[in-house]
Structure 1
Amino acid sequence: MIKLIVLDVDGCLSDGKLIYSAETIESKVFNVKDGLGITTWIKLGNRVAIITGRKSSIVKKRSDELGIQHLFQGIKDKDRVLKELIDSLDLKYYEVAAIGDDLNDYNMLNLVGRSFTPNDGVKEIRKTVNKVLASDGGNGAVREMIDILVDENNQRDDFMKVWI
Structure 2
Amino acid sequence: MDAQTRATRIKLIAFDIDGVMTDGGLHYSDDGHEFKTFNVQDGLGIVLLKRVGIEVAIITGRNSGVVSHRAADLGVTHVYQGVGNKRDVAAKLLDKLGLDWSELAFMGDDLIDLPAMAHAGLTIAPANARPIVKERVHTITAAAGGQGAVREAIEFILAAQGKLEEAFAPYLDPQ
Q: Normalised by the shorter chain, which TM-score bucket? A: over 0.9
- After superposition, give the CA deviation of every residue in 1:16-62 in whole Å (9 maximum; x if it has no partner): 10000111111000000000000111011110000000000000000
Instruction: Describe the SS at the equivalent of 1:34.
Output: helix
Separation in 2, partners of 1:117, 1:153: 20
Contact 1:115 1:131 in 2 (8 A): yes
Query: For 1:7-156, what aligned pairs fall within 5 Å after superposition?
Result: 7-156=15-164
Contact 1:14 1:31 in 2 (8 A): yes
Instruction: Describe the SS at the equivalent of 2:135.
Output: helix
TM-score calculated relative to the size of structure 1: 0.98
Separation in 1, partners of 2:165, 2:100: 25
Amino acid at match of 2:71: S
Separation in 1, partners of 2:164, 2:37: 28
Kindly report structure 1 stretches of 4+ aligned residues shifted beyond 6 Å.
none
Backbone CA RMSD of aligned residues: 0.7
Amino acid at match of 2:122: R
After alignment, is 151-160 or 121-130 more displaced? 151-160
Contact 1:40 1:162 in 2 (8 A): no
Long gaps (5+) in structure 2: 1-8
Identity %: 38
TM-score calculated relative to the size of structure 2: 0.92
Amino acid at match of 2:23: D
2:3 equivalent in structure 1 = none
* Residues matched between the structures, number: 164
How much has 1:69 moved relative to structure 2?
Answer: 2.3
Instruction: Describe the SS at the equivalent of 2:171.
Output: coil
Amino acid at match of 1:79: R
Instruction: Describe the SS at the equivalent of 2:91.
Output: helix
Amino acid at match of 2:63: K
Matched, 1:160 2:172: no
